[in-house]
């Protein structure tokens, strides 16, 4: 062997992203994600037929519920199964930094989840309140998907075997409840900040703060995931 070329980080991330997409597209998880996300549309229709389609608050609450499920389903299961089933041995025995594996997976899974979340939200707004969604609300959902995905990645690296259920439980039993509380603890809630960022129901002045909070939460969970993945031995 003469050429001992080591692949660049960007090249590796792109390769892992393509691999992740291929596996996602050929598996069942994508279709389950599509179904769960699209539940928002019949819900919007039901709300409208009940004569209460004005503000869209019910819709955003329902959208946050789907966000509690879909990103963990994609991200936690993808990372957790990889570690648990030891297919990571193929990846980590290659001349690539471990963080690139994480980045490659997120590079596919986050955009796919954003498309599902924003797409179903847009459709639901058209079906329910019968107006297009605001750019702020779409950006809020995209930011929320990103932050929840980072959280799901962190939990999956900490507890690979039960990454998906634990991430969903975290969202349903910690993040959503504390986000609804009128106390400072709600600052730790991703859904609280997504709700604020939509700009639909709260003072717009708090939006930059919520954006910063989401960025910090992303950074914390991302650090946890990278720290853990660098130390993992399989």
Partner 1 sequence: MTVVVDNCSKWYGHVLGVSDVSWQLRGGIVGLLGPNGAGKSTLIKMMAGLLRPSRGSLTVFGKSPFHDVAVRRRIGYAPEHEKTWDELTALELVTVMARLAGVAPHDARGAAERALAQMGMTDAMHRRVRGFSKGMRQRTKLATAIAHDPDFLLLDEPLTGVDPIARVDIVERIRKLAAAGKTVVVSSHVLYEIESLTSEIVVIYRGQVLAEGNVYEIRKLIDRHPHRIRVECDRPRDIAAELATADHVARIVFERGGVLIETRDPDRCYDALAQVVIDRGIVVSALSSPDNNLGAVFEYLTGESRGRA
Positions in the binding site for partner 1 (CB under 8 A): 1, 3-7, 11-12, 15-16, 18-19, 22-23, 26-27, 85-87, 89-97, 233-234
Between 203 and 233, name the residue whose CB sits nearer to partner 1: 233
Contact in structure between 224 and 154 (CB atoms under 8 Å): yes
Nearer to partner 1, 18 or 181 (CB): 18
The secondary structure of residue 50, as a DSSP letter, is T
Cβ proximity to partner 1: between 52 and 89 the closer is 89
Give min distance, CB of 86 to partner 1, in A.
Answer: 5
Residue closer to partner 1, measured from CB, 65 or 103: 103
Cβ of residue 112: shortest distance to partner 1, in angstroms? 16
What is the closest distance, in whole angstroms, from the C-beta atom of residue 94 to partner 1 in the complex? 4
Task: Give SS3 for 143.
Answer: helix
Q: Under a CB-based contact definition with an 8 Å cutoff, are residues 171 and 72 in contact?
A: yes
Q: Which is nearer to partner 1, 18 or 180 (CB)?
A: 18
CB of 228 to partner 1, least distance (A): 15
- Minimum gap (Å) between residue 18 Cβ and partner 1: 8
Cα–Cα distance, 92 to 110 (Å, whole number): 22
84-101 burial by CB neighbour count: b if 16+ within 10 A, else e? beeebeebbeeebbbbbb
> CA nearest 55: which of 133, 172, 145?
133
Q: Which residues contact 124 (CB under 8 A, 6 or more apart)?
A: 40, 41, 43, 44, 59, 62, 63
């Amino acid at each position: 062997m003469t050429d001992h070329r080591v692949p660049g980080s960007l090249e590796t991330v792109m390769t892992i992203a393509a691999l992740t997409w291929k596996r996602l597209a050929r598996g069942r998880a994508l279709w389950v994600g599509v179904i769960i996300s699209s539940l928002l549309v019949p819900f919007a229709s039901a709300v409208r037929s009940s004569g209460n389609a004005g503000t869209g608050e019910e819709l955003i609450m329902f959208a946050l519920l789907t966000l509690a499920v879909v990103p963990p389903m994609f991200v936690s299961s993808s990372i957790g199964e990889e570690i648990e089933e030891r297919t990571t041995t193929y990846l980590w025995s290659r001349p690539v930094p471990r963080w690139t594996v994480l980045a490659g997976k997120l590079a596919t899974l986050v955009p796919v989840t954003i498309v599902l979340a924003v797409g179903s939200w847009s459709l639901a707004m058209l079906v329910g309140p019968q107006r297009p969604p605001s750019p702020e609300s779409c950006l809020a959902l995209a930011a929320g998907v990103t932050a929840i995905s980072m959280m799901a990645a962190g939990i999956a690296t900490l507890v690979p075997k039960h990454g998906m259920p634990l991430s969903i439980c975290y969202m349903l039993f910690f993040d959503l409840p504390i986000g609804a509380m009128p106390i400072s603890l709600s600052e730790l809630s991703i859904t609280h900040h997504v709700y604020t960022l939509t700009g639909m129901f709260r003072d717009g002045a708090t939006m930059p703060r919520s954006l910063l909070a989401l960025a910090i939460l992303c950074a914390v969970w991302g650090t946890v995931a990278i720290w853990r993945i660098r130390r993992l031995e399989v």
